[in-house]
Structure 1
Amino acid sequence: MNKQSCPWPAAVALALGLALSSCALEEPASGDAPSRADKVKDRKQKAAAKKRKTAAGKAPSKKATAAAKAKPKPKPAPKSQRKPAPEQVWVCSWSPTFDDDWHNDVLCDNGIASERPRLREGDDFVEQAEMMESAKEYARQRNAG
């Protein structure tokens, strides 16, 4: 067997020469290899590009964005211009009870509550037209306050 071996002093000189020249065996001596800072910078740029790409996929189209910009949103009306809630208006109608009591044959209602006022209690006999006159007056009083 014919083996070639490197003498020990030559191997040490070779190793020492490489160590002193600050050359690495993995990287070429020409300086083309990226530095650690360059590698970190490249990773950050790739991550930023990936984020932009995913954000672009989720973002609405340019047409939808332009349409949204074209139509301004209406501003809410100031408190002074808002319409007040509708007042509850009392309305009275003829509604006989058939209990032989002429004075409670009117039913007044405001949409939430209803009541049967006793009208013209001083009269012994009351006609429907007289009761409705009194009912209108009663409703005006209730609506006034």
Structure 2
Amino acid sequence: MIQGRPASDEDEYLNEWSLNSLKENLTLINDILRQLMTISAAILGVSIFYEKIITNNSFKIAAISTFFVALILSFFGIIPYGSKIITNDPVAFKEQKKSIFKTKYWLAIAACFFLTAGFAIVIVHLIDRF
């Protein structure tokens, strides 16, 4: 027979905190992806329609491409999870949520990378122009 001890108040607090952290992190990463999508769309629009910022076509195509990729990545990040949610196994449910978070996290990192690359292209063009 296996005997255990009741969880201490600190153990219960830490367990509840870890469960809430995962929920809060999913909400936070979704908000970040929405903001990245908004920023990417705005900068993409400015890059396409405002002719005075990027005058060289090669730089313009490169910048527009990177901003568009950032937009697409952030869009894919905010799409709701399309697979069946596991509800009958708490451990599998938690692992599924961790996997969803990890995917959204890497999409946000990639979107940030492409946004930064687009800004770098614009800055290089502006430095080259003057």
Q: TM-score of the superposition, structure 1-length normalised?
A: 0.27
- Greater percentage in helix: 2
Question: Taking CA–CA contacts closer than 8 Å with sequence separation of 6 or more, which of the two structures ends up with the larger relative contact order?
Answer: 2
Q: Which has the higher strand share?
A: 1
